[in-house]
Structure 1
Amino acid sequence: MIRGLAAMQDRNFRWFFLARAITMITGSMSSIALAFAVLEIDNDARSLSFVLTAFTVSNIVFVLFGGVIADRLPRALIIQACYVVDILSIGAIAALLFTGNATIPLLVLLSIVNGASTAFVLPAMQGIIPQLTTPEHLQQANAMLSFVRSAVTIGGPVLAGILVATAGPAWAMVVQAAGWAVAIPVLALVKLPPPSHAGGTTMFHDLRIGWREFWSRSWLWTVVLAFMVMNAIHIGAWGVVGPYIAKNNDLLGITGWGWVLSAEGAGVLLMTLLLMWFPLRRPLRYGMIGIAAFAIPVTILGVHPAVVLLAMAAFIAGAGAEVFSTGWNLAMMENIPGEKLSRVASYDMLGSFVVMPIGTLIYGWLITHADPATVLVTSGVVYASIALVTLMVPSVWRMGRPEAITKTPAELADS
């Protein structure tokens, strides 16, 4: 089989990939649909922030418990159960919109349910991938999933905009729920051995075991601590200041900002294709160098946000981000025991999620009290510095992969 598609040799991965592709495609329009659903009820940005914050906070609260459960129970079953919950919550939103009974408090409540469900899905997703394929195919498996994710990031908002504009946000919710309903029986075709978790321990005991695994690896907690700051910068500089500049600077404009985001997605897409074929021998070294490239578009956004220049920088940053994403997944999946992977991943996710609301608030305040150019240039310098300083940690710099995995077929034949 073609090297880039080698993971498709594994039956379990084929079915999981199909189910995941279905949910990523149908779910790619959910954020836009939800945003317009909220604004249709109450055309106030604060109402939208309440609904989105409810999802994020619920995710933060439950993600550690999601990691414990994903190490205790069959991960495919957990994902299926959460999809059922999602169908009910998303279907309820659609029904409320169709009947005209939707209110902001009800959407906040349903977002809490959806956020909690996602908190159980994500650690299970992280833990199940090494079970689906061989170590030799792990990089290709992650790259293939990233390829679909990046493709729908580019095309999903366009399809969502058309559907919401022509049929309304409720129908976009119906499409998403239908995708989840199709994915459930497809996931039932994934056949894995039962988890090896020994019974008789409490949930908090399992959390302590996961924490010890997390803290015993300097490369792991170093990168997570770095991303606690880097993610705050990313969501603030790119998610808050970026649209503000696009709206108020004719050099960029709202349309230009759309092109910049598309270029970033295209960079991710191209890199996923390359990573299907070329082995990543130093996952964290190259990953942290790649993620540091995000400082380039952030700095240009502040200094001279011309569309073409900024789009080129965003393309490079997108490619670099995908190197990190694949490298990080490989580092986790190849170095954390499978029976503890979901718990360790949940600590990683907690560190990533908890700073997002903080970053949004800080940059919302900064943009009204300081010069945007100064804020962005400073953010770029700090971001790149933090990313590159992590390379001074020996375990980050030196981490490699098993030689047999990183060899090309030609190299294996010669050895």
Structure 2
Amino acid sequence: MTTHDDQESRPGLESETTTSPLQQPAFRWFYVGTTVSLMGSAMAPVALAFSILDFSERAIDLGWVLAARSTPLVVFLLIGGAVADRFSRSAVLKMSNLGAAITQGIVAFLLLSGTYNLALIMTLELLNGTLTAFTQPAMRGIVPQLVDKSHIRRANSLLGSTKHAITILGPTAAGVIVVTIGGGWAIAADAATFLVAAFCMSRLSLPQQMARKARTVLTDIREGWTEFRSITWVWAVVASLCATNCLRTGIWSVLGPTIAKQTIGAASWGIVLGARACGLLVMSMVMYRIVVKRLLGFGQLCLGLGSIPLIALGLNAHVYGLAVAAFLAGIGSGVFAPAWETSLQEHVPNKVLSRVASYDDLFSYVAVPIGMLAAGPVASAFGASRVAFMGGILFLAATLLPLLSPSVRRLRHG
């Protein structure tokens, strides 16, 4: 016999009368600005890589530039979260996008004018990465201020599906621009997208989050940590994500190509990666329509599908088997991403939301280099296939462990 609670826990289609978050002008401006900015950001790494290599054939130069861009993102994330909770998030996004437009514009000018200066480009990318550290926490905290609570899940699903589509299209567009008119113009396009985003964010008018008191940013960061560790379902899921990010990046990003080169080949590996991206995009769009009352628990359960391609790698599966496994993993991530964002935005007080989200980002980002650095030595000691297989088992365990907590299983959506 099915209970009423069981019925509520099952996914189902929403009423056709439910309105779209895009009908709310504030969210519409935010969505347009975010979409344009994401497109430029997706193009930038490809354009920057080939532009640097055009001027300097040394891979070490490219490594320094990319490191300069990514390092401050981790270093300044917690400060970015405190600032986003202290001031108007729309103002933070306007200023950070405007600053990014200036830094990328100067980089584009240097590349287009043939004035290659590694130190100057590194400095500009360092500033760009710092600005991103302020942008991300503000973006994660602003959605509940732009839409009604009943629209939060749909808003996150819409943003997620757009982001995943751009992740596929952006690098392709950058490659076309690099080949046809040069990487410098792709960086210039990136700068222009930040300008458009800054204009869109200026159309929002949101109040500052906290009264300005005689308190330091460090105090705000500590307060964010206190809030983060006091919510069991938050730190339990973040701990799970830290472990799964470490396993996925180390095995999928480092060992995956190594195993694929010896089994299915580079071209087939590209097909596998495309299958995962397709699963992610498809499920992100589906999540716009379905309602699950226990949304976080459902998302955490689906995230466990990410273990399947790791296990398949360890078993040296054929390209078709790997592609299906990767597609399923994409579906799992496509469910989890909006489920996680929506749960945070519905249940964490908005006044500390950006700080809590910054701790989430910090632990997630720190796990990535650990996984990448550990994958090679561990594979040398135990064998790449064996590490991939056992990593898949550990991935599944890490996703299921938070479900032992009632606070994760029973957290209600809506």
Q: Mean alpha-carbon deviation: is it higher for 369-378 or for 147-156? A: 369-378
The amino acid across from 2:145 in the alignment is Q
Matches within 5 A, 1:188-337: 188-246=202-260, 248-249=261-262, 251-337=263-349
How many Å separate the matches in 1 of 2:376 and 2:166? Answer: 28
Does the Cα contact within 8 Å between 1:271 and 1:322 map onto a contact in 2? yes
Displacement after TM superposition at 1:105 (Å): 3.5
* Residue 7 (structure 1) aligns with: 21
8 A contact 2:76–2:130 mirrored in 1 = yes
Q: Percent identity?
A: 35
| Equivalent residue, structure 2, for 1:405 | none
2:121 is aligned with 1:99: no
Q: Given the alignment of the two structures, is residue 115 of structure 1 paired with residue 123 of structure 2, yes or no?
A: no
What is the CA-CA distance between 1:117 and the residue it aligns to? 0.7
Distance of 1:167 and 1:254 partners within structure 2: 28
Q: Is the 8 A contact 1:41 1:104 kept in 2?
A: no
Tell me if structure 2 keeps the 8 A contact 1:288–1:387.
Answer: yes
In the TM superposition, what whole-angstrom CA distance separates every residue of 1:158-216 from its partner, at most 9, and x where no partner exists?
A: 21211112222111101111111122222222233343434222111111211111011
CA drift at 1:51: 2.7
1:8-407 equivalent positions in 2, closer than 5 A: 8-246=22-260, 248-249=261-262, 251-402=263-414
Output the CA distance in 2 between the equivalents of 1:354 and 1:291.
20
Question: Distance in 1 between the 2:398 and 2:251 partners?
Answer: 16
Distance (Å, rounded) in 1 between the aligned partners of 2:350 and 2:207: 12
Letter in 2 for 1:93: V
TM-score after normalising by structure 2? 0.91
Q: CA deviation at 1:280?
A: 2.8
Relative distance call for 1:104 and 1:231 in structure 2 (3 A) is farther
Instruction: Call closer, same or farther: CA 1:108–1:241 in 2, change over 3 Å.
Output: farther
Deviates more, 1:203-212 or 1:89-98: 89-98
Task: Tell me if structure 2 keeps the 8 A contact 1:224–1:351.
Answer: yes
Offset of residue 124 of structure 1:
0.3
The code of the aligned residue for 1:14 comes to R
* Contact preservation (8 Å) 1:280, 1:327: no
How far apart, CA to CA, are the structure 1 residues paired with 2:402 and 2:187? 41
CA deviations over 1:223-282 (Å, ceiling 9, x no partner): 112222211111111222222333x22x42222222222211111111122111111321
Deviations 1:354-373 (A, max 9, x none): 12222211113334444210
Which segment is superposed worse, 359-368 or 172-181? Answer: 359-368
**Whole-angstrom distance in 1 between the partners of 2:326 and 2:352:** 36
- Contact 2:314/2:388 (<8 A) preserved: yes
Is the 8 Å Cα contact of residues 36 and 193 (structure 2) preserved in structure 1? yes
2:371 and 2:130 mapped to 1: Cα distance? 21
Task: Give the direction of change, closer, same or farther, for the CA distance of 1:337–1:184 in structure 2 (3 Å limit).
Answer: same
Aligned to 2:8: none
Distance 1:220 1:149 in 2: 23
Under a length normalisation based on structure 1, what TM-score does the superposition of the two structures give?
Answer: 0.91
Where has structure 1 moved over 6 Å in runs of 4 or more? none
Measure how far apart 1:27 and its partner are. 2.3
CA distance in 2, matches of 1:324, 1:103: 42
The 1:43/1:366 distance shift into structure 2, 3 A limit, reads: farther
Query: What is the CA distance between 1:44 and its match in structure 2?
Result: 4.1
CA-atom RMSD, angstroms?
A: 1.9
Contact 2:209 2:351 in 1 (8 A): yes
Deviates more, 1:38-47 or 1:217-226: 38-47
- Per-residue CA deviation, residues 275-320 of structure 1 (Å, 9 max, x unaligned), is 1111132122111111111111112123224222211111111111
SS at match of 1:354: helix
* Greater Cα offset, 235-244 or 96-105: 96-105
Deviates more, 1:343-352 or 1:186-195: 186-195
**SS of corresponding position for 1:271:** helix
Q: Distance in 1 between matches of 2:316 and 2:59?
A: 28
**Aligned-pair distance for 1:69?**
0.6
Letter in 1 for 2:231: R
Give, in angstroms, the shift of residue 113 of structure 1: 1.2
Q: Which runs of 5+ in 2 are unaligned?
A: 1-14
Aligned residue-pair number: 400
- CA positional deviation for 1:131: 0.3
Q: CA deviation at 1:95?
A: 1.9
Q: Which residue of 2 aligns with 1:410?
A: none
**Is there any run of 5+ residues in structure 1 with no aligned partner, and where?**
403-415
**Which digits, 9 at most, give the CA deviation of each residue in 1:327-368, with x for residues without a partner?**
110111011111111111111111111122222111133344
Q: Is the 8 A contact 2:294 2:411 kept in 1?
A: yes
Which deviates the most, 104-113 or 147-156?
A: 104-113
- 8 A contact 1:3–1:276 mirrored in 2: no
